[in-house]
Amino acid sequence: MKGSLRPSVVLFNAMFLFALCVQARVPTFSYIGEPSHSPVSADNFTPHWQAKRWTLENVTRLSDATDEATIAYFIQISESSLPLTPRLLSRIHHPGNFYALHFDKKIPAHRVVALVSQIKNEPRYSNVLVMPREPVTYRGITMVLNNMAAISHLLERGHWDYFINLSGSDYPLVAPEVPRKILAMPHVRERASNFFIVSPKEQWNRTKEYRLERIAVDTALGMSEKPQDSELVILDQTTPLFSKLNYEFVKGEGWLILTREACKFMISSPYARKMLLSMAFSQDASEHFYVSLFWNNPDFNKTIVSHSLRTVYWEVNGKPSGQHPYTIDKLRESDGSYALWDRLRTSPHWFARKFSVPDNEVMDWIDNQMSGLGLDVDEGAVDESTKRMEAHLHWLYGMM
């Protein structure tokens, strides 16, 4: 009997799978991107806000939206993403928003000076702030501190409703008005939604062990100005804190879309300060600090929408990318075409990463066929893209 399945078993399995799909309410787009960091699905995220008050019939449509939220953007720029910055800034720029840029201390000064003076000479960029340069340790706590410093600077700048963090190698798939309108929609506002990925619960304990148990020291905490003094040194010693944490250690990602209230709580509450210190000597704190902070607070817990609205590719044709995601404009087929373009063009998200080549033609296609910011816009394609994005948002809010 081994190896032969009775037809009724096959049929039963097929029906079971079908039932699962229906239950998961997965609409027309499938989640490509990140198998190991899978975003919202019925399995790992049950919407826990109050009974739906909004339905597809009475939710605001993007085409009718008139209110706009003010957004504060933070862009973290490294040496490799520096040449991409002018175009990224021009595509996300809106006169009503606020922007903070941080250039890694490791970038040679003359390259930063040239770009900063170019930005300062543009009158329309009067709402762009250039932060003092600090060494930032990738995977260290100074990454989190830098993000928090950006929030502090931006809070001083004026009133805004939402904070979004980006890297210099990100690129927008929507026009700057789109996030402004969506974040002002009543159903988003009412819930004070905060968007970031919360990984499936089964991963939390293992991640906690891997990242927290051994003491990891970010030497950039020493405040040295020398870029070489920024590294993560992992000791062969366990922390006594490990067994004593009386909060849930939650794994997630560091890509954030946060309300002003959530930002203020993160940078000024004693609770957040204590949690930050408890994670100061852990690895990759930017992927568990924010998520644990908001998850463990009963008020903010209710506001989490487990999605970062970004497209990242961790696999192509079943081949995993490894530690870093695929670079969209580098992955070419033998005929020269871009292996990821067909997937990217149907992405319903707000930003995609990573890009590496300044003014790459993929960016032109995005501008012309997705965001509508290009010189040769295909109105039909932009319209389709916007509809997909709106449908995705409705799905996130459990409306379809």
Ligand X SMILES: *[C@@H]1O[C@H](CO)[C@@H](O)[C@H](O)[C@H]1NC(C)=O
The C-alpha atoms of residue 315 and residue 377 are separated, in whole angstroms, by: 30
Encoding tokens for residue 66?
A: 């008139």
Q: Tell me whether residue 166 or residue 215 sits nearer to ligand X (CB atom).
A: 166
Residue 147 burial (CB count, 10 A):
23
Q: Which of 13, 36, 41, 205 binds ligand X (CB under 6 A)?
A: 205
Question: Is 252 a binder of ligand X (CB under 6 A)?
Answer: no
- Classify residue 27 by its DSSP letter: -
Q: Tell me whether residue 23 or residue 205 sits nearer to ligand X (CB atom).
A: 205
Number of residues in the chain: 400
Encoding tokens for residue 139?
A: 């995977």
Whether residue 354 is preceded by a cis peptide bond, meaning omega within 30 degrees of 0, is: yes
Residue-by-residue DSSP string for 73-124 = EEEEE-TTTGGGHHHHHHHH--TTSEEEEEE-TTS-HHHHHHHHHHHHT-GG
Q: Least distance (Å) from ligand X to the CB of residue 171?
A: 13
Q: Least distance (Å) from ligand X to the CB of residue 42?
A: 13
The window from 92-100, 296-304, 316-324, 332-340 that contacts ligand X (CB under 6 A) reads: 296-304
Q: Least distance (Å) from ligand X to the CB of residue 13?
A: 27
Residues that contact ligand X, how many (by CB under 6 A): 23
> From residue 68, how far is each of 181, 185, 286 by CA, in Å?
5, 8, 29
The window from 52-60, 114-122, 231-239, 367-375 that contacts ligand X (CB under 6 A) reads: 52-60
Q: Tell me whether residue 28 or residue 55 sits nearer to ligand X (CB atom).
A: 55
Show the binding pattern over residues 163-192: x = contacts ligand X (CB under 6 A), - = does not: --x-x-------------------------
Of 168, 98, 170, the residue nearest 349 (C-alpha): 170
Q: Least distance (Å) from ligand X to the CB of residue 197?
A: 11
Residues 140-159 that bind ligand X (CB under 6 A): 143-144, 146-147
Q: Which of 33, 34, 40, 54 binds ligand X (CB under 6 A)?
A: 54
Of 199, 183, 233, the residue nearest 72 (C-alpha): 183
Q: Which of 58, 117, 126, 323 binds ligand X (CB under 6 A)?
A: 58
CA angle (152, 154, 159) in 5-degree steps: 115
Question: Is 50 a binder of ligand X (CB under 6 A)?
Answer: no
Residue recorded with tokens 């309108």: 181
H helices within 321-372, ranges in order? 341-344, 361-366
Q: Tell me whether residue 128 or residue 382 sits nearer to ligand X (CB atom).
A: 128
Question: Is 41 a binder of ligand X (CB under 6 A)?
Answer: no
Whether 196 contacts 293, CB under 8 Å: no
Q: Least distance (Å) from ligand X to the CB of residue 399?
A: 10
Residue 156 burial (CB count, 10 A):
8
Residues 346-385 that bind ligand X (CB under 6 A): none
Beta bridge partners of 164: 73, 257
Question: Is 199 a binder of ligand X (CB under 6 A)?
Answer: no
Q: Least distance (Å) from ligand X to the CB of residue 37?
A: 12
For ligand X, the nearest residue by Cβ is 254
Nearest 5°: phi and psi at 248?
-80, 125
The C-alpha atoms of residue 259 and residue 136 are separated, in whole angstroms, by: 25
Show the binding pattern over residues 75-104: x = contacts ligand X (CB under 6 A), - = does not: -x----------------------------
The residues of the shown chain that bind ligand X, judged by CB under 6 A, are: 48, 53-55, 57-58, 76, 143-144, 146-147, 165, 167, 201-202, 205, 254-255, 286, 295-296, 298, 301
